[in-house]
Amino acid sequence: MLTPPDTTSPDQSLQRSWDVVIIGAGPAGAVSAYQLARLGKKVLLVDKASFPRDKVCGSCLSARTLGYLTEAGLGHVVSELGAQPIGNLHLRTAGGASTIAFPIGFAVSRQSLDQAIVEKAQSVGALFLPSTTALVGALAGSTRTVILETAGVYTAVQSACVLVCDGVNGRALNELSSEEKDRFKPTVSANSRIGSGAVVSLPDNEAGLYYRPGTIYMALDKNGYVGIVCMENNKIDLAGAFEPAYTRMHGSTRAAAAKILRDAGLPFLHVFETAEWLGTAPYTRHRETLAAERLFIVGDAASYGEPFTGEGIGWAVKSALLAVPLVERALAGWDNSLVGEWQRIHKTMVANRQRLSLTLGGWLRHEFSITTLVRLLRIAPILAGPFVNAINRCSPDFADKQGKRKQTFKLSMASKVGQPK
Ligand SMILES: Cc1cc2nc3c(=O)[nH]c(=O)nc-3n(C[C@H](O)[C@H](O)[C@H](O)COP(=O)(O)OP(=O)(O)OC[C@H]3O[C@@H](n4cnc5c(N)ncnc54)[C@H](O)[C@@H]3O)c2cc1C
């Protein structure tokens, strides 16, 4: 069991008792914080990173993701950030290229999006501590202990409920007793790829020169894929998924990304050479156990599939929306049935929806499938319709479950998106 080396905080004003401590301020954690603080709960949100921060992500928001953000009362944030509308998907392999209409939504940097949601949570009363690593501790009567570490100083706080939203790289549960820790151990898929990427800013005279706003450029190879998209303020996002062995062979994910892009005939911009590259652990994973007394696991930390379909932010927001009513009930009085309930809800409403991405991800590991996909789409782009619909459709059962009006989202898609080169 974790014993903090020091329980004095440099900030003596930090309250030690909370309704909810939320670990991780990505979409899952920040949306949960916003929802719970709006309900009048005393919420502490912590993130180990100093904010605003970048995150390995393709930074594309589908209509479905926008739907969940709107459901959370945060839909307006995306347009306020100057997100770029997306209209096309340009697929390239070493053997050819195809472009399809792909009206999936918007591209916006995670630095801006996550910061904006955190600010919304703060505006309704949540306290946010960046640069603070949290570790979940043991139950202490009707609370859980959470150990916070900021610049080498440890503080113990108590919380009636803890949300673990620490993503695929998270280790917030690592200091639990060995019995509890074993229950939460994630199962990582043996053939999982790793994610990596970078965000760069282009000067005005280079913006749109190589990669044009409105198009997702995707280079496909059996060893991985790399997506590039223009975001707000001349920022460009590069994110890729790579076979770990391929990355080792090339010495780094940056070199692997450069090879995949160049083989597919797309430029690897000089600014990517010097950019800061971030990475993920093998990301295809799930946990059998997603809750315990006064503890819920939400977002990527619960399960993650494959990035290709660009749905992870949506899954994270959705799982936050689904978890909040359970947290409210937990705060009214803990009931062990909440554990099974969260696992059932998560499996039906989130984990099962990750299967499309896993199927597609498996398919894209073969040269033949990649080449066939690109050729078929060149001949008959209409074939992409069911795929585009699948990732865009707002799930009506989710709206029903929330007892709210079914929503249809009409994307204000830019009609004048640039054509890929
Ligand atoms: C290559 C790639 C491309 C992707 N492209 C897209 C895309 O285009 N569209 C899309 O919707 N999704 C995409 N995703 C998925 C998306 O990035 C994730 O699904 C989403 O970020 C999950 O949100 P989250 O809140 O669960 O976790 P995260 O966003 O990972 O947030 C977790 C947070 O927890 C913090 N943290 C971790 N440990 C601790 C700790 N102990 N204490 C305090 N803080 C901690 C981290 O600093 C981080 O800020 C992509 C993923 C990859 C790998």
Please name the residues in contact with 108: beta carbons below 8 A apart, sequence gap of 6 or more: 59, 61, 78, 81, 82, 83, 84, 231, 232
How many residues make up the chain in this entry?
Answer: 421
> So what's the pLDDT on residue 373?
86
> So what's the pLDDT on residue 399?
36
55 lines ligand 1 (CB under 6 A): yes
84 lines ligand 1 (CB under 6 A): no
- Cα–Cα distances in angstroms (integers) from residue 274 to residues 52, 112, 171, 268, 277, in the given order: 20, 22, 29, 12, 9
First to last CA, the chain: 58
The pTM assigned to this predicted structure is 0.91
Please name the residues in contact with 351: beta carbons below 8 A apart, sequence gap of 6 or more: 286, 302, 303
> So what's the pLDDT on residue 374?
84
Beta bridge partners of 221: 224
CB 156 within 8 A of CB 145: yes
**By alpha-carbon position, which residue is closest to atom 19 of ligand 1?**
312
Give residue 105 CA to ligand 1 midpoint distance, Å.
19
Strand ranges in 56-180 using DSSP code E only, listed in sequence order:
60-62, 84-93, 96-107, 127-129, 132-140, 143-150, 153-164
Please name the residues in contact with 380: beta carbons below 8 A apart, sequence gap of 6 or more: none
**Residue with the two structure tokens 């894929």:** 225
CB 300 within 8 A of CB 26: yes
Low-confidence ranges of the chain (pLDDT < 70): 1-12, 390-421
Angstrom distance (rounded) from CA 62 to CA 74 = 15
105 lines ligand 1 (CB under 6 A): no
CB 65 within 8 A of CB 248: no
> So what's the pLDDT on residue 416?
29
> So what's the pLDDT on residue 396?
40
**Residue with the two structure tokens 């059962």:** 397
Token pair belonging to 197: 């990427």
108 lines ligand 1 (CB under 6 A): no
**By alpha-carbon position, which residue is closest to atom 52 of ligand 1?**
57
CB 136 within 8 A of CB 148: no
CB 122 within 8 A of CB 47: no
